[in-house]
């Protein structure tokens, strides 16, 4: 008789003290996790790659009196954000990209405006998404270092910069030891030419004292290969 125990099957998720599920392959909410880690009522929050403001809207739901810094380099989007949040003095719009130096950069606007980047789309991305990743316009736009644009400690730094996240982190080195949480988009296949992948971002952040907390919203190709997601990192020098 075979007495080898069968491996356990999938388990139903358990609900933790923070109200979020945990267990085998459980999908969690990155902003709810950040909220459970950052408990201050008046945090400083950064929305890097603000687009149309969905993340800032979530920030405003999660916190009572946050100070939010939004960075969006595409002029029509930045102007829309300025109008949308004009009545909120605690929300600051920075019409610029964030990167390793303060300068003017060539920005690639693609068919799907939300996928526009300082980097050019890769051949792989073009084959996968077609015209949505085709460069429609290259425009000179302002870029700033985050540690020059902001001088106060940061509670949550969110980056969605279409492959340019590591460059933005290098422009925030003067702030990283005073940054509690980082939420960054990560790629496992290069969607942009010269794009650092998850391993590069992970190595850099670990060298700066951050630990990976979890991965979120993972995407795959039809064959199951992992392509992208979001990662939440916690500064290990902070008590959480």
Condensed to tens digits (0 to 9), the pLDDT of residues 45-80 reads 999 999 999 999 999 999 999 999 999 999 999 999
Q: What is the pLDDT of residues 180-229, one digit of tens each?
A: 999 999 999 999 999 999 999 999 999 999 999 999 999 999 999 999 99
Residue 41 pLDDT grade (very low, low, confident, very high; cuts 50, 70, 90): confident
SS (H, E, C) the chain: CCCCCCCCCCCCCEECCCCCEECCCCCCCHHHHHHHHCCCCCCEEEEECCCCCHHHHHHHHHCCCCEEEEECCCHHHHHHHHHHCCCCCCEEEECCEECCCCEEEEEEEECCHHHCECCCECHHHHHHHHHHHCEEEEEEEEEECHHHHCCCCEEEEEECCCCCHHHHHHCCHHHHCCEEEEEEEEECCCCECCCCCHHHHHHHHHHCCEEEEEEEEEEECCCCCEEEEEEEEEECCCCC
pTM across the whole model? 0.91
Could you tell me which of 155, 161, 158, 170 has the C-alpha nearest to residue 200?
Answer: 170
Give the separation between CA 177 and CA 54, rounded to whole angstroms: 27
pLDDT range class, residue 6, cuts 50, 70, 90: very low
Q: For residues 25-49, give the mean pLDDT.
A: 91
Q: What's the whole-number mean pLDDT along residues 230-236?
A: 98
Q: 95 Cβ partners below 8 Å, 6+ apart?
A: 72, 73, 75, 78, 79, 82, 142
Domains and CATH numbers, the chain: 26-100+145-235 (3.40.50.150)
pLDDT band at 12 (very low <50, low <70, confident <90, very high): low
Average pLDDT over residues 119-135: 93
20 confidence band (pLDDT: 50, 70, 90) = confident
pLDDT, residue 11, reads 59
Considering only residues 9 and 210, tell me which one the structure prediction assigns the higher pLDDT. Answer: 210
Computed over every residue of the chain, the mean pLDDT equals: 92
């Amino acid at each position: 008789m075979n007495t080898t125990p069968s491996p356990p099957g999938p388990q139903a998720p358990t609900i933790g003290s923070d109200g979020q599920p945990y267990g085998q392959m459980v999908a969690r909410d990155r902003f709810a996790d950040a909220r459970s880690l950052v408990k201050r009522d008046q945090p400083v929050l950064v929305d890097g790659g603000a687009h149309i403001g969905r993340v800032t809207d979530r920030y405003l739901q999660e916190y009572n009196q946050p100070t939010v810094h939004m960075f969006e380099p595409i002029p029509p989007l930045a102007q829309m954000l300025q109008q949308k949040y004009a009545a909120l003095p605690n929300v600051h719009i920075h019409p610029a990209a964030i990167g390793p130096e303060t300068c003017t950069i060539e920005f690639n606007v693609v068919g799907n405006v939300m996928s526009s980047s300082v980097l050019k789309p890769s051949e792989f991305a073009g084959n996968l998404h077609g015209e949505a990743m085709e460069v429609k316009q290259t425009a000179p736009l302002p870029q700033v270092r985050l540690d020059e644009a902001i001088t106060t400690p940061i509670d949550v730094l969110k980056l969605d910069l279409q492959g340019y996240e590591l460059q933005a982190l290098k422009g925030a080195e003067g702030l990283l030891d005073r940054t509690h949480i980082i939420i960054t988009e990560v790629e496992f296949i290069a969607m942009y030419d010269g794009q650092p992948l998850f391993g590069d971002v992970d190595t850099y952040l670990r060298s700066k004292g951050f630990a990976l907390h979890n991965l979120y919203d993972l995407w795959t190709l039809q064959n199951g290969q992992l392509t992208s997601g979001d990662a939440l990192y916690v500064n290990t020098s902070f008590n959480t």
